[in-house]
Amino acid sequence: MIRPPLISAADLQQALAQPQPPLVLDCSFDLADAAAGERSYREGHIPGALYVNLDEDLSGPKTGRNGRHPLAGRDDYARWMGDIGVVPGREVVVYDRQAAMYAVRAWWVLLWMGHPTVRVLDGGLAAWQAAGGALSQQTAQPVPAARYPDQAPQRSTIDAQQLEQRLGDVLVLDARAPERYRGEVEPIDAVAGHIPGAKNRFFKDNLQPDGRFKPAEQLRSEFLAMLDGRTPESVVNQCGSGVTACHNLLAMEVAGLGGAALYPGSWSEWSSDSARPMEKSPRL
């Protein structure tokens, strides 16, 4: 059974009190300081949570042409899932301290690998604390299991070559901040701009002021306006490196609009090849 993609802090507290509690993963990270996430984990985390590192656990080797956070191979993910104790049927809850911008990568990877029982803590660690949840400074130790069993990919992806061939046929949603999408600034990647024809859906637009996701009905209305009659299956989500694009994928699933694809390489891969088409948008 596919779980709803979000879990509230109150529901997580109840789940953790059960005889078979979920496996909780702290996915906190900082693009400007790769060690910051683990430091924040040591300073205080949900009791029993394991720390998951975006670079080391959720991404594969970089070549300089495949983006800043390329997907690892499925065999690598299967071994990693076994190493941290993810087994078929085990409930998993992922969270971070950054509006779910990194937790969504873990959520998507586990779904892609065929593990449907994974949810994102709505509102992250702030919501946990606001609900009276305690923090722990004790480093949790994984209980390893067998390598996660092979399955066909359960979420859609598209690579750069396929996307270039389908420009104009698919709707590309870019999750980056508007100024990066428009090409006015580029603080991370070598080239500013966006994939031709892409629309901007800043991932933070999925959230309420308190950091929780907007209601499903509101998200559905906003995304349907962007789709303009297209089906979710004709949508490709991307961002800078394939991470916050998963935020839009999560929001679409909350809205009942599942089926969109992820372009894992995203702008960091696309812009690494000057032969690919790129564009900038004037500020309106």
Beta bridge partners of 279: 194
Query: Which of 267, 203, 248, 201 has the alpha carbon at shortest distance from 69?
Result: 267
Nearest to 86 by CA among 116, 121, 56: 116
- For the beta sheet containing 235-238, the strands, ordered from the edge strand earlier in sequence to the opposite edge, are 199-200, 171-174, 235-238, 261-262
Q: Which residue's entry shows tokens 């980056």?
A: 176
Contact 47, 41 (CB under 8 A): no
Q: Quick check: helix, strand or coil at residue 55?
A: coil
Nearest to 68 by CA among 242, 275, 202, 279: 242
- Residues classed as catalytic: 239
Distance (Å) of CA 268 to CA 13, 49, 248: 38, 31, 18
